[in-house]
Structure 1
Amino acid sequence: MPVSHFSRSQATPISSRSLWFAGTAMVLALLLSSAAFFVPQVYLPWLAGIDALLVLHGVINKGNLGGLLRYILLQLLFTMVLYLAIHGGNQVGQGVMAVARILLALLPGWWLTSTVSAEAIGELLSKVMPSKWAFVIVASINLLPFMVNEAREIYQLQLLRGARISPKQLLNPRNWSELCYCVLFPLLVQLLKLAQQTATAARARHFGHKSRRTHWRPGQSENGNK
């Protein structure tokens, strides 16, 4: 990924209406994600209905459910294997419920990133926290799609090398360490490298010289004038 990808955001105005929607969406996502872990089980169907409406709204806004669905399937697979290995078949229902709560906690965050621009989130966060922290959060959000693609490429390359990390092979917990060694560790190295490139791009454009600068404002010239 080019370093310049993080050098500036899209040069579009952020209206007060967009900021209001971003703030409301962030609060709603936080409340719904928290409720997924704390509400009694009897209220989970109501929470699932609300999340279903958010998913529909996110899909209408061209949100991509593919990565989320793959994560859910992997989470369900690993959780079921753990419950079967530790408790046998007696507590499989509890494992399914745990995965359901994790899913309900993830969906509001997916909806938030699908419907609210990173620029609006950064502008809003910069009003309640230091601008450098807001920049880190927005840069992390922008990193997610790239890291998903990077993880997929690493995984496919390691499969070609003969690593025992296919879905069928991962049913055996003994192969989980190979997944960490062949996929997760290289992905972590790539993430650290990309974080360093992002920091270099920010320093090259004098980020932090002004206390309230978190993203590229409309009307600025391409020569980097602040």
Structure 2
Amino acid sequence: MSAVREDFREILSLVRPGARVLDVGCEDGALLELLTRDKGVDGQGLEISPEGVAACLARGLAVVQGDGDRDLDHFPTRAFDYAILSKTLQQMREPRHVLSELLRIAEQAVVSVPNFGHWRVRWALLSRGRMPETGALPEPWWSTPNIHLCTLRDFTTLCDDLGLRIDACMSLADGKPARSIDPRQPIENWRAETALFLLSRKTEAGVVAPAKSDLFG
């Protein structure tokens, strides 16, 4: 397991064995292959690039070519137990709609986003007056695929607006082991380079289930 990406490790720990999983923006299928091998999931990928689709098929994975901005609308409601969107939401044209659709087609969503409130980002803007380049945001502003960057505070506010519950959240930074956090704590908006969320819908009555004390460390 030493070669497995840290965010993949955390996603693997969140998904229950044998679950139905949709990996949106699955790229070459590395995560989906890991989930299939180690958790026995019934997995499917959605990938926009022909090269990614070909790589998934070469791994023997079920994948369809499609655009997460448009094609999630065609999936049946509750067709999956988990919908995964790893480091891709900020590249979507309509992230609010995409996030809402993930929680329509799946009982839970696993979503990771780079945090534009991280201290290195703030320092780059303050000290150099330029768009930052960090481990989570490595591309220069003129070539980045990211079009809707956000901070942790922005993301938790969007979850509230959409009636989503944060079941768990992990911080990833500097290649260190992930740690469980409460993303609503102001200090985490400075510390987390990338945040990985496990999300679900709030209850039908609109009441948020009590947070478990072990979820946010």
TM-score, normalisation: structure 2: 0.25
Larger relative helix fraction = 1
- Which structure: larger Rg? 1
Larger relative strand fraction = 2
TM-score, normalisation: structure 1: 0.24
If asked which structure has higher relative contact order (CA below 8 Å, sep 6+), I would say 1
